[in-house]
A and B are shown apart, each in its own frame.
Chain A
Amino acid sequence: MRDVHVSAITDAVKKLCIEANLDLEPDMLRAFDGALRQERSPAGKQVLQILKQNAEMARTRRIPYCQDTGFVVCFVELGQEIHVTGGGLDDAINEGVRQGYREGYLRASIVRSPFDRVNTGDNTPAVIHADVVPGATLRILVMAKGGGCENRSKYRMLTPAEGVPGVKEWIIECVKTAGPDACPPLILGVGVGGTFEKSAILSKKALFRELGSPNPDPTLDALEKELLDRANRLGIGPQGYGGDTTAFGIHILTYPCHITSLPVAVTIECHAHRHKKVTL
């Protein structure tokens, strides 16, 4: 067994929360450059240039890329030979969020109850998905998930008879309904298969794959490319002002499913795609 003290987890999460909101990952910066080379719309081009400038300003002036500094969604891959000491794992993560959001001048966007809607004041709690995996390392993936795009995420239970064509139409429909509301250029995380909740979790996890990298499954890779091409023919464009860059990427993860089911969950992510990871 290897001991990992909760303070190391708290420190790591704090750092990831701050960096995610101030330092956009290189895959996003490359996506802006790639889109600028192809975008035909002058308004769309201008939006992309301002977003690039925004990323630069966030990095240099240490001001959040977007004022919605997100709901912290945390995927934990806990090696089964790790022993977490000094407290609970969830508490350690939430303490990291608390410290990160306060010290990083990040916005508190979480209310304690969906009904009484009183702000918790420190952006806690996070949404935590923990998996126990073989090995002696602890991997933490953090996403600061914006609310505007999350609100356009969708779920549908298709029938097996609807098959791949049905899945494709549904995903394109999701891009259309998200439209300008979700701050395009979008990134779609798609979970297909499993159960109701499994597909939704996969749709979030799919967003952690590096933008522009191929899906390791060649069939899914072809499907992603076809759907991305179709999405970018819709004309919605950056911010919905019209253009060729409606989406930067569509990432699909699948899981076996029941003979009766074809669940499809689509998490809509905006261009403020803030994701970081660390291995302890």
Chain B
Amino acid sequence: MGVTTSPDGIKEIRTPLSDADVESLRAGDRVRITGVLYTARDAAHGRLDRLIEKGERLPFDPRGQIIYYTGPSPARPGDVVGSIGPTTASRMDKFTPALLRLGLKGTIGKGYRSQAVKDALRQHRGVYFGAIGGAGAVLSQFVKKLSIVAYEDLGTEAIRRLEVESFPAIVVNDCHGGDLYQDGAKAYAREGA
């Protein structure tokens, strides 16, 4: 099992993820991810999409993997990485269902997903995690190794393979239709807005 619950109530996730792992997660669950994440954002998704359209092999096998939507700042000498928080996920909505169809299990970002992505999460057993946007300095601590996998010419937008330990996130959209953003706003909305 890639998902276990710690005494503090936080779910520990070890990559890669299986369908059963994904099914055990619910919107609002706090998680710590250990293992491998692949970074990709706008430009890299554009290139991946062209490969998928042509039926060609991707630079990494997406099956069971998690894509982290981020473009890190440069590392200072001696550091693994610079600041590395999430970017807005909705810009990748156009590309996400095709990747989920190929076996991708998770994405990490911030902000709303489209209905098409939420439907694809249900259909293909996928999960969307939120990481804290703008907390790039804190999040850099959880990245232990980094290597470039593809598209080095894209600079910060290259695909990187990260090895992370206890990377903190929260389940925003689960594969059962749960949505933290909807639940959270409903719970705290007050009269007079």
Q: Which of A72-80, A202-210, A211-219, A235-243 contacts B (4 or more CB under 8 A)?
A: A235-243
Interface residue from A53, A63, A234 paired with B189 (Cβ < 8 Å): A234
Is A183 within 8 A of B134, CB to CB?
yes
Is A235 within 8 A of B73, CB to CB?
no
Contacts of B170 in A (CB 8 A): 43, 241
Interface residue from B76, B79, B136 paired with A65 (Cβ < 8 Å): B136
Is A107 within 8 A of B186, CB to CB?
no
Q: Which of A94-128 contact B (CB under 8 A)?
A: 105-109, 117, 119, 121
Q: Count residues of B near A (Cβ-Cβ below 8 Å).
A: 46
Interface residue from B70, B90, B180, B188 paired with A244 (Cβ < 8 Å): B188
Residues A234 and B156 in contact in the complex (CB < 8 Å), given A105-B76, A244-B188: no
Contacts of A58 in B (CB 8 A): 83, 137
Complex: A241 Cα to B181 Cα, angstroms: 6
Contacts of B90 in A (CB 8 A): 181
Is A236 within 8 A of B185, CB to CB?
yes
Is B136 within 8 A of A64, CB to CB?
yes
Is A107 within 8 A of B74, CB to CB?
yes
Interface residue from B83, B87, B132, B183 paired with A51 (Cβ < 8 Å): B132
Is A235 within 8 A of B110, CB to CB?
no
Is B155 within 8 A of A41, CB to CB?
no
B190 at the interface (CB under 8 A from A): yes
A272 at the interface (CB under 8 A from B): yes
Contacts of A63 in B (CB 8 A): 73, 76, 79, 82-83, 136-137, 140
Least CB distance from A273 to B in Å reads 10
Contacts of B156 in A (CB 8 A): 67, 107-109, 119
Is B110 within 8 A of A237, CB to CB?
no
Q: Count residues of A near B (Cβ-Cβ below 8 Å).
A: 54
Is B193 within 8 A of A105, CB to CB?
no
Is A47 within 8 A of B132, CB to CB?
yes
Residue of chain B at shortest CB distance from A68: B87
Residues A148 and B76 in contact in the complex (CB < 8 Å), given A107-B71, A181-B111, A235-B190: no
A54 at the interface (CB under 8 A from B): yes
Q: Pick the most buried of B82, B138, B156: most chain A CB atoms within 10 A of its CB.
A: B138
Is A242 within 8 A of B187, CB to CB?
yes
Q: Which of B9-50 contact A (CB under 8 A)?
A: 43
Complex: A244 Cα to B188 Cα, angstroms: 7
| Contacts beyond the supplied A63-B136, A106-B73: 18 A-B pairs with Cβ under 8 Å | A41-B184, A44-B188, A57-B137, A61-B137, A62-B76, A63-B76, A64-B137, A107-B74, A107-B83, A108-B156, A148-B87, A180-B112, A180-B181, A240-B111, A242-B184, A242-B188, A244-B188, A270-B133
Chain A interface (Cβ < 8 Å from any Cβ of B): 40-41, 43-44, 47, 50-51, 53-54, 57-58, 61-69, 105-109, 117, 119, 121, 146, 148, 151, 172, 179-183, 229-231, 233-237, 239-244, 270-272
Chain B interface (Cβ < 8 Å from any Cβ of A): 43, 70-76, 79, 82-85, 87-88, 90, 110-112, 130, 132-138, 140, 154-157, 170, 180-181, 183-193
The 7 A-B pairs of least Cβ separation, nearest first, read A242-B184, A235-B189, A181-B111, A235-B188, A233-B193, A67-B83, A183-B133
